Chain A
């Protein structure tokens, strides 16, 4: 087939593009993924019995905003990465802001704490399970988001996969706060960050294979 024949074929029977298709794909993926994360936290990990008491403390909301802002900044970057030729711009710097803010807060808390208390502030009582639980809650989101991106055209697959994982980790962590008893910034700065980093690594590893087009 000659190239001008191909062009004629591609242009024949052309329909208008559905401008809402891309946002709808993201919305579907985020809704399905979030439902999966919620189901894992509620049905498998269990909602914290002290949720009402915990939610009275300011750090409960700081923790929620932290996880949500990791997800939000990752989504902005991901939406750019999924389209050819759109530069990341400030989106990559913005992704660092929630982490840096949490580490700054953790440093202040540790500096002000009694030296004896410091290891407790970092380890809490659930450090062994926290990162893997966040990873577990993030998996449905990661699968759904990778499905959404497969319908788009990322030209930087590893970075796109890592960012999809970061988004999934952030959303997984948002739902994990329903289960998690830990409110100290040093704990969040280490174990939540690790829990969100694991899906990011998974995303970066699977993306080159899954996201080719």
Chain B
């Protein structure tokens, strides 16, 4: 069982996605428990895998016992075991919270919804676990196609946003596939470990260089790295809330994972850092992402769209860490994959809960919301502080490593951008907090008249995930030292 855990992580949600289809016709109410079971099992399997990796080191799992490089191999090291756990845990939390909104918004489509939802999760997990370039493409497409479908079932404007995303996503996938093709032409291999052995002799080949460029562009499109982010805000704004709280935290992080994998494992760090200025380009693109994401977020009046732009900015943080390509920078990037997943999860869940209760998501329409939904808004504040980077929330610690990395690499301007973005986020979030908590139009002479707004919290199936996400933000902050010393420091490529 333990030995089979890597493949179970992916296979369980895949099989259950089709089981839902069968059982869903019989009884619609069963879809939700099946989904939860599937993702919980997958989460357990990924925890087992992480545990095995921590105790015994990298796992090589051969599908159908075919020898690599011919067969497909799953390779799990500290990096992807860590991301696996994040992906399955975040999916689980998002799935738990989906119950009420699905019942309310998508009742007739429940069966399809959960089926695609599980396929989406399968795609994410597959991308992360595989050790094969083409297999990665397959899962990337599963994830993307599921994503197009899920986004398209949203409100007015969603089909168009989804179509937009489809075009961008397909272009990205094409680039990636072309990259894989080029590598296959030159090396005859698709296995990542195998490629990293063969490629160093071919680093000066134009085909390999072009393949690398295609990879970078393709992945940047998938992870919405500035300036290729234009599909993201619409898609995540119009998507139904359970979908945006699954996609927003994970799609971009999985993209970031692919980027780290390709730049530092398939290609040697020497190639991406010294031979071509890929990392330098990434640093400046990331700087742009951080700044412009925050500035656009500032201009939004719609809370969900604002969060989408914050996400663009957060992708910048991770990319910046990757681009710094030193120990502290990558530690920050990998830590931020965890932290930002939870921050975005918490924020999108909160917006989902607010929309469920009030139907509104205009920032100015949030007045009195903290009396109606005190716990939800408390988590919003915690997540906001984390995005700003106030200790002891987790966002502070990834920022700490990123700035440390920027100073180590003598990148002073990006370090300044990181600091400046904290201040921009202060403005962005305190504008919301002011609207939600302060009630400037009233005289406050009679203090006892406070009780006229009754508490009307989100249903428990939404509130508990929100609270878990909020607790995670605090917990990962306090435990960040532990996380770095047990997992992340082994996940960093050995070039320092």
A and B associate? no
